[in-house]
Structure 1
Amino acid sequence: MSIITNIEDLRQRSKKILPRMLFDYVDGGSYDEQTLRRNETDFDALQLRQRVMVDTSGKRLGRSVLGQSYALPVGIAPTGMAGLYYPEGEVVALAAAEKWNIPYTLSTLSICSLEQLRGSTDYPFWFQLYIMKDRAFTESLIERAAAAHCSALVLTVDLPISGQRHRDIKNGLSVPLRFTGGGLFDMMLRHGWWRRQMFAKSKSFGNLAGMASAENSKLMGLAQWCASQYDPSLSWDDVAWIRKLWKGKLIAKGVLNAEDARHAIDHGCDAVIVSNHGGRQLDGARSTISSLRSVATAVNRQAPVLLDGGIRSGQDIIRALALGADLCMVGRPYLYALSAAGPAGLDTLFTILKNELEVCMALMGIRDLSEVDETCLENPRYFSREY
């Protein structure tokens, strides 16, 4: 890992290690992938303000969110199937989060279950939830999250239906994995990946065990069962229902505009995550960084505002904090690092982000991240249109 200098290096190593269908699942977006690209490129439009001859010794990188103090202003976003990228990948990621003292969010579509994670450590973690058509099963997931002492529930609000992802369809992605034809040949070439996955204890969706057969014996697997559970009838009334069931902190993930941010707060959410599902849902939507300022203004410090989508450097984190984010989440970078080298890859990822943050702060005259605001950017109103 000594030659890895940035997140793109981790991405390239991940691409060499993973079968194509798994790499494309994490790397791709919906339809023409316009929003996927904007999530990254729109960060480049924001110019950082350099300052000189400012004492920045003793820099402080910590942040407090929802009553918890963290060592870095970054956390691990919920991503499905992490355990297929590295054996027991979710457990490995939670261990890294504990080591670095950052938040970790377990996906509903994780390979390791809620109970497996709680059995691995006492470190608090968040649980990401989809509201499914089967409301009884949704309620059971909430009860399991409470039993696992999850410190927050992250409610995904931007998936009433799944956006089409061309790469996944062409690759024939399914869970459990099924390799045929060219996909089988490609998998056999990835010796390191399949040798380590042979001994993985978990190979399917741990939180959904048994649900496919219970719902419909003709379904091909858990992925299809889950896709059938997305509910286009979702409304803010469902968020209010979740709020009554869940007594802990509630975070709405998938907010892109001021109106929806206000709705989330009005319906009892304790925080919002500015997110477009990593460009995997509505293709053509705005990037998360271009949406952040209007959401932060609407929330008006009533609740923390987090951001995911497009973070690829410590500089990007500074840009997001300057426009109103309290903390940033990384999804793709985490899976690139996990698949590249497991625990060592995650250590490399967070070392890179920490070092980039420290260098950036020194060159911008910032001693404490609490000082970061719009004055840290040369053009803070580049994304100025309110909507």
Structure 2
Amino acid sequence: MSKIRYKYHSKYPSITDLKIKAKSRIPKFAFDYLEGGCNEELNLIRNESDFDDILLKPQYLHVAGDIDMSVDLFGRRYSAPFGISPIGLQGLMWPNAPEILAKAAAKHDIPYTLSTVSTSSIERIAEVSDGKAWFQLYHPTEDRLRDDLLRRLKEVECPVLVVLVDVPSFGLRYREIKSGLSMPPKMNMANVVQAMMRPLWGIKTLQHGIPSFATLKPYMEKGLDLSQLGQFMNKTFTGKVNIEKVKAIRDIWKGPLVLKGITTEEDMDASIALGVDGVIVSNHGGRQIDAGESSIQSLIHLAKKPAYNDKIKIMLDGGIRSGVDLGRAHAVGSAFNFMGRPFMYGVGALGDEGAEHTINLFKAQLYQLMQQLTLEKIDQFPGRLLQR
């Protein structure tokens, strides 16, 4: 049997280990922003726990050849069937996190997705990722701003545009309200004390600068205080993404177009009719609606329809915490997967080393699972789903 080829820090062999370490290095207000869901956080819990019901079956006497985890997606071949999700304010949780993650993703040939409201700019991430990074668009209220963002993405030759559709309103997140990171944000004395208790985070923040919405800087007035920043964000991104808005983007954007936040047949039908290339089934990490179903359950329902799989790429974001979960997701019909919090745990725990560690951790776990199930390729996982 061949050895696992992916090396990672043996002190942190699981995402749980990284999470514990990251929590000890990130100020509480920033960790709560990363970790929290909306309302009672029930859907946040379901996102992870519902994976436990997906069981796989080995075929030990089956003869398998070499394992190939690579996947073709939108005309490119990626080394593994997963990428790094967009997360807002990444540099607040760990200084310079977007660049750390984008560089590692490019090196390991997996996609990194930059959020409109992250803390590095479109141009900087395109530079450090060799033009490989995807971009997630929070649809602006004004078409003028949308068009300028799309212009900038074209200029850096962004390979894939992801349009976020599941934020008709900002989720009611109790942790953020308590910490002062809701809109408008405020830095209270408790936050200052928490930051002082994490000296390395403070030193790194001083080195890289106070985090800001770097992509949006050209559209902001200079010298906005926190209250004015909140007003700017509310004014700039208040508005629901609808069919007409996606149509307009489809007319402008000629590259691969993906809608993120799709969970229902009605929205899937609309996505196909609009001619988008893929959807990411997601409930925004349990941060928008507490009364919905988990992302994996939504994917299971949608992937059961052969007509969908024939017309559009169905991908998943939400709740994946191991290579075993990656295998489970593919077994029930996911074509590709994204994880956000695990990679932030990685950089929070191990800094610059954390991105590559987390990538290799997922690769090693998935590789071992494929060995155990005697699989050669990712598209063979559905054949190992235990039907009950």
TM over 0.5: yes
Greater mean alpha carbon deviation, residues 88-97 or residues 164-173: 88-97
Greater mean alpha carbon deviation, residues 240-249 or residues 113-122: 113-122
What are the ranges of 5 or more consecutive residues in structure 1 without an aligned counterpart? Answer: 381-387
Which residue number corresponds to residue 5 of structure 2? none
Root mean square deviation, CA, Å: 2.1
Say whether the 8 Å CA contact 2:34–2:93 is kept in structure 1: no
Say whether the 8 Å CA contact 2:185–2:226 is kept in structure 1: no
Say whether the 8 Å CA contact 2:330–2:379 is kept in structure 1: no
Say whether the 8 Å CA contact 2:184–2:226 is kept in structure 1: no
Which residue number corresponds to residue 6 of structure 2? none
Which of 240, 255, 258 is the aligned partner of 1:251?
258
Greater mean alpha carbon deviation, residues 173-182 or residues 196-205: 173-182
Q: Distance in 2 between matches of 1:176 and 1:58?
A: 53
Which residue number corresponds to residue 20 of structure 1? 28
Q: Is residue 51 from structure 1 mapped to residue 59 from structure 2 by the alignment?
A: yes
Which residue number corresponds to residue 101 of structure 1? 109
Which residue number corresponds to residue 385 of structure 1? none
Q: Distance in 2 between matches of 1:165 and 1:352?
A: 30
Following TM superposition, by how much is the alpha carbon of 1:352 offset from its aligned partner in structure 2, in angstroms? 1.4
What TM-score, normalized by structure 2, do the two folds share? 0.92
Alignment of 1:1-387 (within 5 A): 1-173=9-181, 179-201=187-209, 203-213=211-221, 220-296=227-303, 297=305, 298-373=307-382, 375-379=383-387
SS of equivalent to 1:300: helix
Which residue number corresponds to residue 3 of structure 2? none
Q: Percent identity?
A: 35
Q: Distance in 1 between matches of 2:205 and 2:183?
A: 14
Following TM superposition, by how much is the alpha carbon of 1:300 offset from its aligned partner in structure 2, in angstroms? 2.6
Cα distance, 1:221–1:50 mapped onto 2, change above 3 Å: farther
Q: Which amino acid aligns with 2:138?
A: Y
Which digits, 9 at most, give the CA deviation of each residue in 1:37-89, with x for residues without a partner? 10000000111112213333411111111111001011011111112233322
Following TM superposition, by how much is the alpha carbon of 1:363 offset from its aligned partner in structure 2, in angstroms? 1.5
What are the ranges of 5 or more consecutive residues in structure 2 without an aligned counterpart? Answer: 1-8
Cα distance, 1:285–1:176 mapped onto 2, change above 3 Å: closer
Say whether the 8 Å CA contact 1:132–1:229 is kept in structure 2: yes
Aligned residues: 378
Q: Which amino acid aligns with 1:191?
A: P
